Amino acid sequence: YMYLKGGENTFMPDTDDPQLPGKVGLQVVGGIVKHLGALTAIGASTVNSYRRLWDTGFWAPVFADWGYQNRTTGLRISAPGRFEYRSVDSMVNPHLMAGAILKAADDGIRNDIDPGPPEDRNIYEAMEAGKLVKKLPMTLGASLDALANDEVIKSSMPGEMYRLYEEYKRDEWERFLHTTTEWDMETYLDCLP
């Protein structure tokens, strides 16, 4: 998605730094980083979606930060004037996701949200060095809670859409919590009296 002004991509660098997005691009990045927790409920919309996030060997984007070509952050600047939202899987509804990202981007522009400096280090190394970074929700239930508390992202689903999304996804989460898995049986069956 591009924000154009006079036919020009406003994400493009406007300083001597050839990687740093322009002012509008930085505002968009700021808006998306601010709303990453709620966006996760749409981008990772199933219980199974979170298994990928727990497996850091797949460069799982589990932190609300951004950087250039940095696959350990939730938002990656992949080329000048372009970004990649990473906390999404193949079960995503692209229409809901696009609407939610555009709402986050608009919030960043309207409120001049500063994303802070880009993280060039592996996010885990940055945290070991003392950087404080907010972790994204790591379960469907936690991401639904984040979405419930984010009026901007909720507004991307007009009318009854948010209520229905919340109802169906909360039901999915609660049914999962009531499920006895093979792991439960193998781990706890011998503990019974």
Encode 61-74: b = buried (16+ Cβ within 10 Å), e = exposed.
bbbbbbbbebebbb
| Percent of the chain predicted with pLDDT > 70 | 95
Tell me the backbone φ, ψ of residue 145, rounded to 5 degrees: -65, -40
- Cβ(26)–Cβ(115) under 8 Å? yes
- Cβ(91)–Cβ(132) under 8 Å? no
The pLDDT tens digits of the residues spanning 74-118 come to 888 888 788 888 888 899 999 999 999 999 999 999 999 999 999
- Cβ(112)–Cβ(121) under 8 Å? no
- In the predicted model, what is the mean pLDDT of residues 135-148? 96
pLDDT band of 4, cuts 50, 70, 90:
low
State the pLDDT at residue 32: 95
Q: Which helix (H) or strand (E) holds 67?
A: strand 66-68
Has residue 22 got a pLDDT over 70? yes
The predicted model scores a pTM of: 0.88
State the pLDDT at residue 34: 96
CA geometry: angle 114, 118, 120, nearest 5 deg:
170
The pLDDT tens digits of the residues spanning 26-77 come to 999 999 999 999 999 999 999 999 988 887 655 778 888 898 887 888 888 8
**Structural domains of the chain in order of their starting residue, each with its CATH number:** 4-191 (3.30.590.10)
State the pLDDT at residue 14: 85
pLDDT band of 1, cuts 50, 70, 90:
low
Residues 6+ apart with CB under 8 A from 10: 2, 3, 4, 22, 23, 24, 25
State the pLDDT at residue 86: 87
How far apart are alpha carbons 50 and 143 in whole angstroms? 10
Has residue 193 got a pLDDT over 70? no
How far apart are alpha carbons 171 and 167 in whole angstroms? 6
How far apart are alpha carbons 131 and 94 in whole angstroms? 33
